[in-house]
């Protein structure tokens, strides 16, 4: 693992510990370096594989090597409620998962609805469709609502709001393997 | 040539032994090496890390080397053995590649692979199943991938394919070297066979076992839509692709035909681009230059049906049906499922969706690939604890030997001491097997885990990883991920209170990696220890020592379980202690499964995708523009093996007039019925029927076809299948069905029930019926025009007048011709069915796959434009790579070569003066431009005599060899024992004084070479000239008086690495490529490529044909 990639894996106190150890390496003899290497591997061994690692697109190559992140799971595909808001309402979802209108439109009803049905909303999109690298591809702003509650009830109420242009439910996607 | 001491190439798997140069003084820890001489070992350590290698000295530095006497060391030195320089390397990855990496390092003296050869079964490996992959074969049956493979780039080289679905087994033995994991989403284990099968069709590794993918050199990438959603998964995939790469959408979902639900299996499932966000995501990928291939879906749906044009509730108001070619298109290639040659080749399979929007077809069944089982199932080995834990001879064997009838894919197994039974767990099911009853499965098994193992947590009921009986406490343990539960067989098999618990902290001494989960577990009655297995390692637990892991663990499975075949050394799926004979069984399942029966638009889509990857790879290799979405669709539609209708005729790209009728109803219907109550039409075929709504543009209604049985109340059994005819009778508002010599009457105004007293015999009930019409009529209809009923049988018909006591009119029967004007002859000889339509007051007749329409208002004539096809079911053509390559002019490795040059060349040379390449054959030559995609220049071939001034007559035909000499910028030609020299800087004239004899001018030439050479080569790599003759070659150093280097001649064999036997003598020509610095050998119609920078080794994939 390159030093850069290793640093990316370390967060919080671990990063400090690593950097201190790294500095020590240049000032002590080879014996100390060996100790550093031991510390290095201890850190590596106990590195959690969950949320502490911030895997960015650049680190995918590293992640692909870690087969243990790909143990199979049981996760049934569920229906999704897809929503498009009126473009002039400039809707986005903040870090807390709340629907906000850049134009000050009332989104309280929508947020209450999501909360009531224990549903979450996320924008569908690409990093390339936002920011300065945005290509000249017209990509509609879709949002997906997921939850174990009644998506149809949410849909019906959303369609009655002024800022929702469209709302439809996509049934679960399945493998197109033919089964007798 | 520079070379290392390569002792053996060996097989691909085994133990890699590396001998370092003694003066490097290499020592090793477990995963790294260092040099006591402080030489730079960083690249070696990088390689060790990359290949996850464990390295260990063969002779332990302290216990062995240090303990040796001086005499002993001296004796070993005499034998050229330096014990401390020899190391053993273990890796689960490709050790041949690892060996090559080590050989590149200057500190390495030798590197060779020792095969595991202690016992024949240790070398067991999966057979080669590629003969089962008919889709690789020549068109029209296959896509002719084998043709594409002969061409550079034609294996999908440098093309990335991202498969969007939801489950994969990345450790499958035929996939593990091709892909390492997901780039997003959840890996759903219930779909693992599916994704593995798809990836296998695309890119199963090229090797001596298992399958080979259609585009085996393409880069395979996997993303799961589970957890992301399909549109987000497509966008994420597109963001990681380059223009020209491919995204495969292995999904379908329930559409509007069944109200977006799935009440009837997959009926009504459609391609996902129909939903606006998925359409947008596909469009996004396509506009980035990515090819998107999309499964049509298995819904038996006609994409041209009206229902797909209807705007669903909540869709954006501007949405337009993308299945309608007149509307904005996504650009995806949609793939339908066609039959393989074993059954009505290239006809649509019954489950496949179809329509004008579908672009191409692949094999929708019988696809041999990875996963599932069938071609190869679970295997097990028997290990004898009383013989040093050695695998017994004759293994592995099929697991069905100790569990006949079990499905493949066993996850876990255990011996239960309580009842002396063996339990196998597979997904959410389990089997109980009785070892004392011939290993038969007990009755009623398999059963669901859920509901039969009280107290099991929900996650444990869906799949478990490992299970074991512990004889220490008479409990059973189950393991799932990082958790485990304990079951007490003596307490009604309940889970003990307090479980599940995490492995970490409850199994003292468990390494962190094992605490994440284990693959298999076993209690050994032999030594009262528990063994846990994870990947290629295992640990041993001693229940008598506080359940601690014994010191020295984990260990490699390969190190202590003797004679295990390689696939078992990589890891096992389950383990059983067989108490009946004190044997240990290791089970290997998921990673070695193969099927011959992958099916669905699932299997069809990767067939087309792989073919597209071969095209893209070949275009890329030829430096030509890659396919775009539009050009790919056009190419697939304009080439390929045509779709065949069930009749044997070719399918057309047309919309059906009876929209939604599937292939079964598109040919040979049994009966047709006008429903005067609701103004609809029914078709009957076999045991099914469909309802057509003429007011909805003659579409069949959603959810049809349906079975007759259960939907037509009171039908006698015999009428539930294959009725002969049906008719609406307007005078009494009843419906009649005819079958054989019977008929029934149905009352539409009484719940469509059959009237009491039916069936009745036709004879006696229909007055005046001729005897021939009293049984097996072909068709019947009510004609509102004249208020009569008609019956058809063979080439005759009769007319019944309900107003006249239902009597047959006088003069009947009559011949269909000439009474029904304009009937085609095949209709006149007998029809399948007939119906009156109240919608347009016309009569329809059906025969085979065609129908005609008669107009009673126009003298009962057949309307113009008929007969027509009843129903089109377009799924398109099957790709034909040979045809595509020929159409795109990429079907030759040396494009433009005349046929005669393709059969072999006499000589070849690189001309640095004009940076062109010349080939000579008999009295002709051609010129190739390496900087114009190696295309042949216009105007060639030309004759040598007309273009090379001053050539002696003998050199104007059949030269032996030619070369460019950089030191003097001249070109040399050799013929027999003579040669000539050409000066490109002097009008390409032959220098004065030539020809000369080779012997007089080339010092040190052996006499056999002086009498004539086969081929000659200038090498810019080392500024030497090579001459080839028979099975030998010599090397000349122009800067040393043009003398032959010492040590030559040498054998071609062994010094030019990796070349096949046929190229080890009698070469036709050898060419220096001044552009890439590589070397080409030509022999008859084939050639190969040597990479000087890779130790003068042949590039994999050669030899190839000059012209394929």
pLDDT, position A99: 94
Are A45 and B183 in contact (CB < 8 Å)? Answer: no
* CB < 8 Å to B276, chain A: 82, 84, 140, 142, 166, 168
Taking only the tens place, the pLDDT of each residue in B70-96 is 888 888 887 778 888 999 887 766 777
Phi-psi region of B133 (alpha: psi -120 to 50; beta: other; left: phi over 0): beta
Taking only the tens place, the pLDDT of each residue in B248-284 is 999 999 999 999 999 989 999 999 999 999 999 999 9
Give me the sign of the Cα torsion angle B240, A76, A67, B201. negative
Q: Where does the pLDDT of residue B755 fall: very low under 50, low under 70, confident under 90, or very high at 90 and above?
A: very high
Q: Which of B236, B251, B315 lies nearest to residue A168, judging by beta carbons?
A: B315
Can the peptide bond before residue A27 be classed as cis, meaning omega within 30 degrees of 0?
no
> Which letter, b or e, does each residue of B837-866 get, where b requires 16 or more Cβ atoms within 10 Å of its Cβ?
bbeeebbbbbbbbbbbbbbeeeebebeeeb
Are B277 and A176 in contact (CB < 8 Å)? Answer: no
> Which letter, b or e, does each residue of B742-757 get, where b requires 16 or more Cβ atoms within 10 Å of its Cβ?
bbbbbbeeeebebeee
Taking only the tens place, the pLDDT of each residue in B673-689 is 999 999 999 999 999 99
Are B315 and A144 in contact (CB < 8 Å)? Answer: no
A33: pLDDT strictly greater than 50: no
Q: Which of A46, A64, A144 lies nearest to residue B180, judging by beta carbons?
A: A64
d(CA B276, CA B326): 17
Are A173 and B251 in contact (CB < 8 Å)? Answer: yes
Tokens of A83: 């929503």
- A4 Cβ under 8 Å from any chain B Cβ: no
Q: Which of A68, A137, A168 lies nearest to residue B284, judging by beta carbons?
A: A137
A86: pLDDT strictly greater than 70: yes
Q: Where does the pLDDT of residue B560 fall: very low under 50, low under 70, confident under 90, or very high at 90 and above?
A: confident
Give me the sign of the Cα torsion angle B938, B942, B947, B951. positive
The alpha carbon of residue B601 is apart from the nearest alpha carbon of chain A, in Å, by 6
DSSP letters of B59-98?
S-IIIIITTS-HHHHHHHHHTT--GGGEEEEE-SS-HHHH
Tokens of B165: 């679905």
The residue length of chain A stands at 180
* CB < 8 Å to A43, chain B: none
Tokens of B108: 């390495």
Residue of A nearest to B186 (CA): A73
d(CA B727, CA B780): 6
The Cβ of residue B521 has, within 10 Å, a number of other Cβ atoms equal to 27
- Burial of B914 by CB count in 10 Å (0-12 exposed, 13-18 middle, 19+ buried)? exposed
- A131 Cβ under 8 Å from any chain B Cβ: no
The alpha carbon of residue A146 is apart from the nearest alpha carbon of chain B, in Å, by 10
Report the Cα B58 to chain-centroid distance in Å.
Answer: 42
Helix (H) or strand (E) holding B16: strand B15-20
Share of chain B above pLDDT 70, in %: 98
Residue of A nearest to B259 (CA): A171
Can the peptide bond before residue B1049 be classed as cis, meaning omega within 30 degrees of 0?
yes
Residue of A nearest to B198 (CA): A177
* CB < 8 Å to A172, chain B: 253
Least-confidence region, from A65-74, B359-368, B809-818, B943-952: A65-74
pLDDT, position B95: 77
Is the Cβ–Cβ distance between B636 and B360 less than 8 Å? yes
The Cβ of residue A96 has, within 10 Å, a number of other Cβ atoms equal to 7
* CB < 8 Å to A57, chain B: 239-240
The alpha carbon of residue A178 is apart from the nearest alpha carbon of chain B, in Å, by 4
Q: Where does the pLDDT of residue A139 fall: very low under 50, low under 70, confident under 90, or very high at 90 and above?
A: low
Q: Where does the pLDDT of residue B355 fall: very low under 50, low under 70, confident under 90, or very high at 90 and above?
A: very high
pLDDT, chain A, mean: 66
Q: Which of B348, B128, B287, B88 is nearest to B878 (CA)?
A: B348
Task: Tell me which of B165, B181, B591 to substitute to probe the interface with A (most A C-beta atoms closer than 10 Å).
Answer: B181
Are B225 and A173 in contact (CB < 8 Å)? Answer: yes
Q: Which of A70, A129, A139 lies nearest to residue B187, judging by beta carbons?
A: A70
Q: Which of B637, B525, B622, B617 is nearest to B575 (CA)?
A: B525
pLDDT, position A54: 29
Are B281 and A124 in contact (CB < 8 Å)? Answer: yes
Q: Where does the pLDDT of residue B489 fall: very low under 50, low under 70, confident under 90, or very high at 90 and above?
A: very high
Alpha-carbon separation of residue B350 from A153, B94, B365, B650, B663 (angstroms): 37, 43, 11, 17, 7
- Burial of A26 by CB count in 10 Å (0-12 exposed, 13-18 middle, 19+ buried)? exposed
Residue of A nearest to B269 (CA): A176
ipTM of the complex: 0.78
The Cβ of residue B907 has, within 10 Å, a number of other Cβ atoms equal to 27
pLDDT, position B664: 87
A53: pLDDT strictly greater than 50: no
Q: Which of A49, A167, A173 lies nearest to residue B253, judging by beta carbons?
A: A173
- A67 Cβ under 8 Å from any chain B Cβ: yes
A28: pLDDT strictly greater than 50: no
Report the Cα B15 to chain-centroid distance in Å.
Answer: 31
DSSP letter, residue B406 = P
A73: pLDDT strictly greater than 80: no
DSSP letters of B944-1013?
HHHHSTT--GGGGS---EEEEETTTTEEEEEETTEEEEEEGGGTTEEPTT--EEHHHHSTT--HHHHT--
Q: Which of B170, B275, B512 lies nearest to residue A70, judging by beta carbons?
A: B170
> Which segments of chain A does DSSP mark as H helices, in order?
3-9, 12-25, 30-45, 60-65, 108-116, 151-160
Q: Which of B229, B254, B295 lies nearest to residue A80, judging by beta carbons?
A: B229
A89: pLDDT strictly greater than 70: yes
Q: Which of B170, B239, B254 lies nearest to residue A126, judging by beta carbons?
A: B239
Q: Which of A1, A139, A170 lies nearest to residue B280, judging by beta carbons?
A: A139
pLDDT, position A4: 37
pLDDT, chain B, mean: 94
Instruction: Tokens 């019954």: give the residue.
Output: B350
Q: Where does the pLDDT of residue B530 fall: very low under 50, low under 70, confident under 90, or very high at 90 and above?
A: very high
Give me the sign of the Cα torsion angle B1020, B1022, B1023, B1028. negative
- A128 Cβ under 8 Å from any chain B Cβ: yes
* CB < 8 Å to B280, chain A: 139-140, 142
pLDDT, position B14: 60
Higher pLDDT, B797 or B563: B797
SS (H, E, C) B120-183: HHHHCCCCECHHHCHHHCCCCCCCCHHHHCCCCCCCCCCCEEEEEECCCCCCCCCCCCCCCCEC
Are B180 and A177 in contact (CB < 8 Å)? Answer: no
- A59 Cβ under 8 Å from any chain B Cβ: no
d(CA B366, CA B596): 6
Task: Indicate the SS3 state at residue A35.
Answer: helix
Alpha-carbon separation of residue A164 from A82, B410, B605, B680, B853 (angstroms): 11, 49, 36, 39, 49
Least-confidence region, from B98-107, B173-182, B359-368, B1057-1066: B98-107
Q: Where does the pLDDT of residue B31 fall: very low under 50, low under 70, confident under 90, or very high at 90 and above?
A: confident
* CB < 8 Å to B247, chain A: none
B1052: pLDDT strictly greater than 60: yes
Q: Which of B490, B510, B489 is nearest to B501 (CA)?
A: B510
pLDDT, position B76: 83
Q: Which of B983, B1020, B929 is nearest to B919 (CA)?
A: B929
Are A177 and B276 in contact (CB < 8 Å)? Answer: no
B1062: pLDDT strictly greater than 90: yes
d(CA B578, CA B566): 23
Q: Which of B169, B229, B312 lies nearest to residue A124, judging by beta carbons?
A: B229
* CB < 8 Å to A161, chain B: none
Is the Cβ–Cβ distance between B981 and B971 less than 8 Å? yes
The alpha carbon of residue A84 is apart from the nearest alpha carbon of chain B, in Å, by 8
d(CA B24, CA B16): 19
Is the Cβ–Cβ distance between B360 and B333 less than 8 Å? yes
Name B1093's Cβ contacts closer than 8 Å, sequence gap at least 6.
Answer: B1021, B1077
DSSP letters of B719-740?
GGS---EEEEETTTTEEEEEET
The alpha carbon of residue A16 is apart from the nearest alpha carbon of chain B, in Å, by 23
B817: pLDDT strictly greater than 70: yes
Alpha-carbon separation of residue B222 from B161, B528, B885 (angstroms): 8, 43, 28
Q: Where does the pLDDT of residue A74 fall: very low under 50, low under 70, confident under 90, or very high at 90 and above?
A: low
- A60 Cβ under 8 Å from any chain B Cβ: yes
- Residue B747, beta-bridge partner list: B753
A42: pLDDT strictly greater than 50: no
Taking only the tens place, the pLDDT of each residue in B421-460 is 999 999 999 999 999 999 999 999 999 999 999 999 999 9
d(CA B1080, CA B1104): 11
Q: Which of B947, B920, B898 is nearest to B1016 (CA)?
A: B920
Alpha-carbon separation of residue B1089 from B311, B695, B926, B1058, B1105 (angstroms): 58, 67, 20, 10, 12
Taking only the tens place, the pLDDT of each residue in B612-635 is 999 999 999 988 999 999 999 999
pLDDT, position B262: 92
Task: Indicate the SS3 state at residue B645.
Answer: coil
Q: Are strands B333-338 and B291-295 parallel, antiparallel or unpaired?
A: parallel
Is the Cβ–Cβ distance between B851 and B831 less than 8 Å? no
> Which segments of B305-385 does DSSP mark as H helices, in order?
none
Angle between helices A151-160 and A108-116 (to 10 degrees): 170
Q: Where does the pLDDT of residue B9 fall: very low under 50, low under 70, confident under 90, or very high at 90 and above?
A: very low
Share of chain B above pLDDT 90, in %: 86
d(CA B403, CA B438): 9
Is the Cβ–Cβ distance between B854 and B846 less than 8 Å? no
Q: Which of B338, B868, B437, B908 is nearest to B641 (CA)?
A: B338
* CB < 8 Å to A60, chain B: 183, 240
- A165 Cβ under 8 Å from any chain B Cβ: yes
Name B856's Cβ contacts closer than 8 Å, sequence gap at least 6.
Answer: B783, B785, B786, B841, B842, B843
Taking only the tens place, the pLDDT of each residue in B630-652 is 999 999 999 999 999 988 999 99
């Amino acid at each position: 693992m390159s030093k850069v990639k290793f640093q990316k894996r370390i967060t919080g106190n671990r990063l400090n510990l690593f950097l201190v150890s790294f500095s020590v390496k240049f000032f002590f003899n080879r014996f100390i370096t060996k100790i550093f290497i031991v510390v290095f591997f201890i850190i590596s061994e106990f590195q959690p594989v969950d949320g502490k690692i911030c895997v960015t697109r650049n680190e995918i190559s590293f992640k692909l090597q870690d087969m243990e992140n790909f143990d199979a799971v049981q996760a049934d595909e569920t229906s999704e409620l897809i929503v498009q808001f009126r473009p002039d309402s400039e809707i986005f979802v903040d870090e807390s998962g709340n629907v906000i209108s850049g134009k000050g439109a009332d989104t309280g009803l929508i947020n209450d609805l999501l909360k009531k049905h224990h549903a979450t909303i996320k924008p569908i999109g690409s990093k390339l469709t936002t920011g300065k690298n945005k290509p000249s591809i017209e990509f509609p702003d879709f949002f997906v609502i997921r939850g174990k509650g009644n998506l149809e009830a949410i849909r019906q109420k959303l369609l009655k709001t002024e800022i929702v242009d469209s709302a439809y439910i996509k049934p679960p996607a399945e493998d197109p393997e033919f089964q007798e | 040539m520079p070379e290392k001491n390569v002792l053996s190439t060996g097989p691909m798997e085994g133990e890699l032994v590396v001998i370092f140069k003694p003066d490097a003084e290499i020592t090793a820890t477990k995963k790294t090496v260092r040099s006591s001489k402080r030489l730079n070992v960083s690249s070696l350590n990088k390689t060790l890390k990359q290949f996850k290698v464990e390295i260990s000295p063969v002779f332990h530095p302290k216990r062995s080397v240090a303990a040796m006497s001086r005499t002993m060391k001296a004796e070993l030195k005499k034998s050229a053995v330096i014990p401390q320089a020899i190391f053993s390397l273990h890796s689960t990855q490709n050790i041949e590649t690892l060996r090559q990496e080590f050989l590149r390092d200057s500190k390495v003296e030798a590197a060779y692979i020792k095969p595991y050869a202690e016992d024949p079964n240790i070398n067991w490996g999966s057979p080669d199943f590629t003969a089962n992959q008919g889709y690789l074969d020549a068109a029209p049956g296959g896509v002719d991938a084998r043709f594409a493979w002969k061409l550079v780039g034609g294996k999908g080289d440098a093309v990335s394919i991202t498969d969007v679905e939801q489950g994969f087994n990345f450790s499958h033995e035929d996939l593990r070297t091709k892909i390492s994991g997901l780039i997003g989403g959840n890996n759903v284990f219930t779909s693992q066979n599916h994704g593995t099968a798809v990836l296998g069709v695309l890119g199963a590794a090229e090797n001596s076992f298992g399958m080979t993918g259609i585009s085996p050199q393409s880069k395979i990438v996997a993303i799961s839509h589970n957890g992301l959603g399909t549109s987000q998964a497509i966008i994420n995939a597109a963001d990681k692709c380059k223009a020209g790469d491919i995204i495969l959408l292995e999904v379908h979902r329930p559409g509007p035909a069944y109200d977006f639900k799935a009440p009837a299996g997959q009926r009504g499932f459609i391609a996902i681009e129909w939903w606006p966000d998925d359409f947008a995501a596909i469009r996004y990928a396509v506009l980035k230059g990515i090819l998107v291939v999309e499964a049509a879906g298995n819904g038996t749906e006609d994409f041209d049906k009206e229902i797909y044009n209807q705007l669903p509730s909540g869709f954006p108001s501007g949405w337009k049906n993308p299945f309608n070619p007149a509307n904005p298109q996504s650009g995806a290639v949609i793939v339908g499922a066609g039959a393989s040659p074993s059954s009505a080749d290239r006809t649509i399979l019954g489950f496949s969706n179809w329509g004008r929007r579908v672009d191409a077809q692949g094999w929708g069944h019988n696809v041999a690939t990875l996963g599932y089982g069938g071609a190869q199932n679970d295997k097990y080995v028997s290990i004898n604890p009383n013989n040093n834990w050695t695998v017994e001879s004759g293994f592995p064997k099929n697991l069905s030997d100790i569990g006949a009838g079990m499905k493949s894919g066993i996850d876990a197994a255990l011996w239960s001491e309580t009842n002396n039974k063996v339990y196998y767990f597979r997904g959410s099911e389990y089997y109980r097997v009785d070892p004392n009853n011939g290993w038969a499965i007990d009755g009623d098994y398999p059963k669901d885990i859920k509901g039969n193992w009280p107290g099991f947590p929900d996650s444990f009921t869906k799949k478990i990883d490992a299970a074991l009986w512990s004889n220490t406490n008479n409990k059973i343990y189950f393991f799932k991920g990082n958790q485990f539960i304990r079951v007490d067989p003596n307490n009604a098999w309940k889970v003990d209170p307090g479980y599940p618990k995490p492995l970490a902290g409850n199994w003292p001494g468990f390494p962190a990696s094992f605490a994440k989960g284990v693959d298999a577990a076993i209690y050994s009655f032999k030594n009262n220890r528990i063994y846990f297995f994870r990947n290629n390692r295992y640990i041993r637990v001693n229940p008598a020592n506080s359940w601690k892991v014994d010191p020295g663990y984990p260990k490699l499975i390969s190190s202590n379980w003797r004679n295990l075949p390689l696939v078992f050394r990589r890891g096992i799926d389950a383990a059983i202690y067989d108490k009946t004979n004190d044997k240990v069984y290791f089970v290997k399942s998921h990673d070695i499964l193969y099927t011959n029966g992958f099916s669905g638009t699932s299997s069809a889509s990767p067939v087309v995708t792989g073919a597209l990857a071969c095209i893209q790879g070949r275009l890329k290799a030829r430096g030509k523009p890659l396919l775009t979405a539009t050009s790919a669709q056009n190419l697939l539609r304009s080439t390929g093996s045509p779709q065949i209708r069930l009749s044997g005729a070719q399918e057309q790209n047309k919309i059906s007039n009876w929209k939604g009728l599937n292939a079964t109803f598109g040919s040979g219907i049994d009966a047709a019925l006008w429903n005067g109550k609701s103004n609809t039409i029914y078709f009957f075929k076999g045991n099914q029927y469909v309802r057509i709504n003429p007011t909805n543009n003659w579409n069949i209604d959603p959810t049809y076809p349906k079975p007759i049985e259960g939907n037509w109340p009171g039908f006698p059994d015999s009428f539930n299948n294959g009725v002969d005819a049906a008719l609406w009778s307007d005078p009494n508002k009843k419906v009649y069905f005819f079958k054989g010599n019977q008929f029934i009457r149905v009352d539409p105004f009484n719940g469509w029930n059959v009237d009491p007293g039916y069936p009745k015999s036709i004879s006696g009930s229909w007055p005046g019926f001729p005897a021939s019409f009293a049984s097996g009529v072909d068709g019947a209809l009510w004609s509102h025009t004249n208020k009569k009923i008609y019956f058809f049988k063979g080439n005759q018909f009769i007319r019944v007048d309900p107003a006249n006591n239902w009597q047959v009119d006088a003069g009947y029967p009559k011949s269909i011709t000439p009474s029904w004007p304009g009937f085609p002859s095949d209709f006149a000889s007998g029809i399948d069915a007939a119906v009156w339509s109240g919608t347009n007051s016309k009569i329809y007749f059906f025969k085979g796959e065609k129908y005609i329409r008669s107009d009673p208002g126009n003298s009962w004539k057949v309307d113009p434009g008929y007969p027509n096809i009843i129903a089109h079911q377009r799924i398109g053509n099957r790709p034909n790579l040979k045809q595509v390559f020929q159409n795109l002019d990429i079907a030759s490795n040396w494009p433009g070569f005349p046929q005669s040059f393709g059969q072999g060349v006499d000589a070849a040379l690189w001309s640095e003066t004009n940076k062109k390449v010349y080939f000579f054959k008999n009295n002709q030559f051609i010129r190739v431009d390496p900087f114009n995609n190696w295309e042949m220049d216009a105007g060639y071939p030309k004759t040598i005599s007309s273009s090379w001034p001053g050539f002696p007559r003998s050199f104007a035909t059949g030269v032996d060899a030619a070369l460019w000499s950089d030191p003097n910028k001249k070109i040399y030609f050799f013929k027999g024992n003579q040669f000539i020299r050409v000066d490109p800087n002097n009008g390409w004239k032959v220098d004065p004084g030539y020809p000369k004899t080779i012997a007089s001018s080339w010092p040190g030439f052996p006499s056999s070479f002086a009498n004539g050479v086969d081929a000659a080569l200038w090498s810019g790599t080392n500024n030497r000239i090579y001459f080839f003759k028979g099975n030998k070659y010599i090397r000349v150093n122009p800067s040393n008086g043009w003398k032959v280097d010492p040590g030559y001649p040498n054998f071609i064999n062994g010094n030019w690495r990796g070349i096949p036997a046929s190229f080890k003598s009698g070469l036709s020509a050898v060419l220096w490529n001044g552009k890439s610095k590589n070397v080409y050998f030509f022999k008859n119609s084939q050639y190969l490529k040597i990479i000087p920078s890779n130790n003068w080794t042949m590039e994999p994939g050669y030899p190839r044909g000059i012209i394929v």
